[in-house]
Structure 1
Amino acid sequence: MGAAPPSPTPKPVETREVEIAREAYAFLYPLVIMDVTRRQALQRGGSGLAAPVNTFHHSPAFPRGDFKAVVRPNFDTLYSSAWLDLGNGPVLLSIGDTKNRYYMLPLYDAWTDTFAIPGSETLPAGKTAKFAITGPGWQGILPAGVERVDAPTRFVWIIGRIQTNGVSDYPVVHEIQKALTLAPLDPAKPAPLASDASVDLTLPPVALVNRLSATEFYETALRLMVDNPPHLVDQAQVARLGLIGLRAARDFRFAGLSSAAQAALADAKTQGPARILRYAGRNGQQRNGWRLNTLSVGTYGADYDQRAAVALVGLGANRPTDSIYPSTSVDRDGKALSGQERYVVRFKAGELPPARAFWSLTAYTPEGYTEPNAIDRYAVGDRDALSFNPDGSLDLLLQNDDPGADRRANWLPVPRGPFNLSLRIYRPAPSALEGDWQPPVIERTTQK
């Protein structure tokens, strides 16, 4: 008889520190990237999506092709964005005449969860409103006619989006933006003075968080947790973090942890970004090569991997009932999309994206940014002057080179190298949320 085959080498058993460290990185990542994004915005002042604290910055135009303040920006709405610091008391949000236009003002806490969405879908048509956004534990009496909105954290991000039907529509949208204002509830208590240390403005937030040392990452997170407490659903996870010494404190020191915990947390920090990116690539349902997630976006409960993945690839994403984002990076044959090829996506007659508001298609680099192009076009959608086929179908052309004047109306310029696509569907119909409608496959074509 021959020798018995060797027994497989057993996988090493993970220590408690290693297991909890991996959980800790995913749990804390959204809090840290939100903080870096906030600090960059406040340091910039009036550029990009930036303004002083507790003040709206109303974007006058769509983002430029080289915009990198956030990943995967849209070209369907003009932003009205603000970073709130509720440390000195509530902030009043006033909404004036929005001219019956589709708009939304989602409020994100410091953990990236959406906790309120004033807008055309939550307020009666034509209604003006005033809200007092209050921080954790605030006690007080509000003036008559002011509705209270309790923020779970001291820091809040408002990413207002107002439907914008092309460049010619800017003047109308600017008037709506003027109707959105912020002010302290108590004028004697202005916004806290900015005390943040300077932050690199030359790199996007994702790159900056990746460059943080383990000491910087965990010390930043545990200090932020003091004023930005975890949610009630997080109590079990917070208790597990405490088992290896991760507890919220302004004077938290990474060096005070055990050597085993430090080593495990440092490794989790090193491996974390790639792990989250892999999770994001697997997440959601596959339909015709498109990946779509209609669960746990905008509000995440205890799904910490999902929350981290969205923070990494699409910080500030909306809830599925407000908008969904089918995405793909492959063609019909499963080959990666590349600007060296030409593609067409055909929507059959009667099978356009089922949006109760509007829809668009945008191309991004693998890092989540647009690439400048000759015609300064970064999205095509239902508000463009598209050319339909005689049978009612619609062909959108995806390529880097100009297809010519007779086909340019349906052309979406794509980056020169690898790229991916996001199909935005605002106020999706049930057929999109439930999977009855599916995006069409991306076809390679030799036609210029």
Structure 2
Amino acid sequence: MYSILFIDLSSDDIVVNIPEMPQDRYWVFPICTPYGDNLINIGNLGVSKPGEYLIQYDPDNYGLETENIPDGFAGVIKYPMAYGLVNSRILTDRSEEDVEIVQKLQLGFNVSRTIPRPEPPIAPPLDLTMFTKPEYNDGNISSCHEAVMKVAAALAPYNPPYVTSDRDWVAAELRKAGFNNGTFTQPRGSNLTAAVELAKKTSLAFMDKPGVRQDVGNDWFIVSEGYIGKFDSHYEARYQIATTAYLALDPSESVYPFHEGDLVVEEGKSILFTFPEPPKIKDGGFWSLTVYGPDQDLVPNDMEKYMVGDRSNLTFPDGTPVAKGDHREFQVLLQASGIEPPTNWTAK
């Protein structure tokens, strides 16, 4: 389950509270930039401690410090922008009882207080109502692309690249694109629709470069470290991931295998996924096989079955639970919703 926290360091540093979490449950509190860079993670995989964490503005550095920090804090988070966001995740098995437990745990993630800085504000306060204004809302102007550019122009001055050596040339490119003091004016002779198509082609071509992704077998791939989660200067990769997996986590936290090409379940046909053995995961982690439609959303179905994984009641063909940890083959069936699932598959 997810919960969103927006970060505003325009004038004050903030203190966030991380609650005591059950040892056997996956959770993560990821600190992300507005652009989708996952800079810092607090969570069970990193054996993070509960308590208060100070999120401190530092224009030139980012990271988590747990030693030589002020008394009373479990950690100090250096963050190089005025604004950011957290999309915290807590694992659930989706049962009503477990969902209630997670909802209570979610309440423990909160901003407990702010600490004023002596310096002048670095930005105006973050105003989320800006997204309701006509100039920033694609439902109220003729071009979605123009709305995106205007939002970017409004936020970019206060959220420069975290790679400090990129800041000057990125700012220069944004000026060429029509960004000026928080506003966007489309350059004469430009075509935003054509520019977006070029950006798509450029980013897709970049993702096909050697080393950007790794072939893990049977037409499955993973994006290599440095091109997902935390992108550094790879802006083409960040663009592509943002269109399909905004706020994807760094590979140190999560890996996202994907299948090359579209999987089509033809009428009257099924797809059978064969696992040679249960996926290997870190202690406290989890795995899942999730099906998304062409719109990147979960595929609706009467069974309300969207994924299977280590939280599912999976069994080997002889009925032994996969959770027992045997290193042998098992299968997952994917078929059209109009076909009644075979009895021996439904509960497995």
Same fold (TM over 0.5): yes
Paired residues of 1:109 and 1:151 also in contact (CA < 8 A): no
Partner of 1:148: 76
Hey, what's the Cα distance between the residues in 2 that align with 1:208 and 1:322?
38
- What is the count of residue pairs matched by the alignment? 310
Query: Do the aligned partners of residues 309 and 194 (structure 1) sit closer, same or farther apart at CA in structure 2, a change above 3 Å counting?
Result: closer
Hey, what's the Cα distance between the residues in 2 that align with 1:161 and 1:405?
34
**Cα displacement (A) at 1:128:** 1.9
Identity among equivalent pairs (%): 22
Partner of 2:56: 134
Hey, what's the Cα distance between the residues in 1 that align with 2:128 and 2:275?
50
Paired residues of 2:229 and 2:250 also in contact (CA < 8 A): yes
Listed as ranges, the matches of 1:50-61 within 5 Å are none
Partner of 1:263: 190
Hey, what's the Cα distance between the residues in 1 that align with 2:197 and 2:50?
48
1:124-164 CA deviation, whole Å, 9 max, x = no partner?
Answer: 5xx322112234569xxx97313432222222111111122
**Cα displacement (A) at 1:344:** 0.6
Question: Which amino acid in the other structure matches residue 381 of structure 1?
Answer: G
Paired residues of 2:213 and 2:223 also in contact (CA < 8 A): yes
Paired residues of 1:209 and 1:217 also in contact (CA < 8 A): no
Paired residues of 2:16 and 2:109 also in contact (CA < 8 A): yes
Question: Which amino acid in the other structure matches residue 295 of structure 1?
Answer: E
Paired residues of 1:299 and 1:319 also in contact (CA < 8 A): yes
Partner of 2:166: 234
**Cα displacement (A) at 1:81:** 2.0
Hey, what's the Cα distance between the residues in 1 that align with 2:131 and 2:100?
37
Partner of 2:65: none
Partner of 1:109: 33
Secondary structure, aligned partner of 1:161: strand
**Cα displacement (A) at 1:358:** 1.5
Partner of 1:416: none
Alignment RMSD (CA, Å): 3.4
Partner of 1:424: none
Partner of 1:221: 152
Indicate which of 229, 233, 242 corresponds to 1:311.
242
Hey, what's the Cα distance between the residues in 2 that align with 1:223 and 1:151?
20
Hey, what's the Cα distance between the residues in 2 that align with 1:105 and 1:315?
16
Query: Do the aligned partners of residues 153 and 402 (structure 1) sit closer, same or farther apart at CA in structure 2, a change above 3 Å counting?
Result: farther
1:88-134 CA deviation, whole Å, 9 max, x = no partner?
Answer: 4122211121122321111101221112111112345xx32211223
Indicate which of 319, 326, 329 corresponds to 1:393.
329
Query: Do the aligned partners of residues 194 and 368 (structure 1) sit closer, same or farther apart at CA in structure 2, a change above 3 Å counting?
Result: closer
Which runs of 5 or more residues in structure 1 are unaligned? Answer: 1-77, 411-448
Query: Do the aligned partners of residues 193 and 234 (structure 1) sit closer, same or farther apart at CA in structure 2, a change above 3 Å counting?
Result: closer
Which runs of 5 or more residues in structure 2 are unaligned? Answer: 61-68, 319-326
**Cα displacement (A) at 1:289:** 1.1
**Cα displacement (A) at 1:84:** 2.1
Listed as ranges, the matches of 1:27-426 within 5 Å are 78-100=1-23, 101-124=25-48, 127-135=49-57, 144-146=71-73, 147-167=75-95, 168-186=97-115, 194-198=128-132, 211-214=143-146, 216-231=147-162, 232-235=164-167, 237-238=169-170, 241=173, 244=176, 246=178, 249-250=181-182, 252-255=183-186, 257=187, 259=188, 262-263=189-190, 267-273=194-200, 275-276=202-203, 284-286=213-215, 287-296=217-226, 297-328=228-259, 330=261, 336-338=263-265, 340=267, 341-348=269-276, 351-356=277-282, 357-390=285-318, 392-400=328-336, 401-410=339-348
Question: Which amino acid in the other structure matches residue 117 of structure 1?
Answer: N
Q: TM-score, normalised by structure 1?
A: 0.61
**Cα displacement (A) at 1:270:** 4.5
Question: Which amino acid in the other structure matches residue 329 of structure 2?
Answer: S
Query: Do the aligned partners of residues 314 and 113 (structure 1) sit closer, same or farther apart at CA in structure 2, a change above 3 Å counting?
Result: same
Hey, what's the Cα distance between the residues in 2 that align with 1:233 and 1:325?
29
Paired residues of 1:280 and 1:306 also in contact (CA < 8 A): yes
Partner of 1:56: none
**Cα displacement (A) at 1:372:** 1.4
Hey, what's the Cα distance between the residues in 1 that align with 2:170 and 2:15?
32
Paired residues of 1:136 and 1:154 also in contact (CA < 8 A): no
